[in-house]
Structure 1
Amino acid sequence: MTDFRFRLARRIVPTLAALALGLGGLAGASAGTLQLDGIALGEVGLTERIVTDRISGVAIGGYDPVAYFAAGRPVAGSADFQLVWNGAAWRFANEGNMAAFAADPGVFAPAFGGYDAGAVGRGVAAAGDPRVFAIAGERLYLFRDGASRDDFLTSPRRAATAEAAWPALEAGLMR
């Protein structure tokens, strides 16, 4: 019964969140964490399209997605600077990075929801390690290990192959 309720919550909460946003019913909890009726919307993984911690709902291991571009390296985010986008909680190192992400999340969010870009090209959903990354073509890519990253970066066709494979893989994750 608990599993059923969890699956039901995964479907209902995003719908309620969207409705609340439309009605202006969302209130900030503390320092950027969005809540709906006392439920922190980043506290459970609401989507499989983004690599999240199954317990906390935090995307990409809690690393700040903007810092990859601003600092050129992974930087741990803080629960003090957190917002929910696309059903996942995203953490940031500072308020400026959180504001930049809020203004245009698609620029900073990792390609393929943080799944290993090389594996995506082979039709496999393998979580990327946020410490193993590359920025190519102004996109952030995560990889499960250095070998996958090196293989991906050695061929310009790998990105196109992954882009072509992602829609079917993403659809399968949402079932």
Structure 2
Amino acid sequence: MKRFALAGVLALGFATTALTGPAFAGDQFVDQTGYAVSGYDVVAYRTLAQAPVGSAQPKAVPGRADITADYNGATFAFASEANRDAFLANPDYYAPQYDGHCAYGVSKGGKVPGNPHLWRIVDDKLFLNITKNVVGFWEEDIPGNITLAEGNWPGIEPKPASTNPIPGYDSPAPVSN
């Protein structure tokens, strides 16, 4: 029953947009900060100790407004020039899966925002999810949900990026130097 309720909430999220929706560029999800992944450093995730399934992950590392790179129609911010250089050398490795959209949402067939603090690296790929409740559903069967998402992604990838805000999240802008 809980899953059907979640599916309804996700479906409602796909059908609605905020009155003052976040900006987006290309297919990459970009929120009101104007940055991909809300301005957090995607390279820094690789240096954080990953928590066990069922536990909260460490907070993402804020990027800096003066250390950026463009990829997939969006601007990514980084905590250091070394991280930016690593990203530029292999952006596909560091960029989140599904253009920064929620991995569980993609497994259910749609694009909803990914929260930069609700992350997990699986098979050397960065995945984001939208809410703590959704993380619980995704973690019930991570391999199965990734398989579903991979099957769904080719059909939904060409659709525009989500314009919905991240629920319950007030994303800060990258740190100025």
What TM-score do the two structures reach when normalised by structure 1? 0.69
Relative contact order (alpha carbons < 8 A, sep ≥ 6): 1 or 2 greater?
2
24, 27, 30: which one aligns with 1:52: 30
User: For residues 78 and 172 of structure 1, what CA distance do their matches in structure 2 show?
Assistant: 30
1:105 match: 91
User: For residues 29 and 124 of structure 2, what CA distance do their matches in structure 1 show?
Assistant: 20
Larger-Rg structure: 1
Larger helix proportion, structure 1 or 2? 1
Aligned residues with identical type, % of pairs: 32
1:20 match: none
40, 43, 59: which one aligns with 1:66: 43
1:128 match: 114
- Spell out structure 1 runs of 4+ moving beyond 4 A: none
How far is 1:80 from its partner? 1.4
1:173 match: 160
What do residues 7-35 of structure 1 show as CA deviations (whole Å, max 9, x unaligned)?
xxxxxxxxxxxxxxxxxxxxxxxxxxxxx
1:86 match: 72
1:159 match: 146
Structure 1: gaps of 5 or more residues: 1-43
Structure 2: gaps of 5 or more residues: 1-22, 50-57, 162-177
Larger strand proportion, structure 1 or 2? 1
CA RMSD of aligned residues (A): 1.6
User: For residues 73 and 153 of structure 2, what CA distance do their matches in structure 1 show?
Assistant: 18
Q: Is the 8 A contact 1:134 1:149 kept in 2?
A: no
What do residues 109-148 of structure 1 show as CA deviations (whole Å, max 9, x unaligned)?
0000111100101112110111111111111110111221
The answer to whether residue 126 in structure 2 is matched with residue 140 in structure 1 is yes
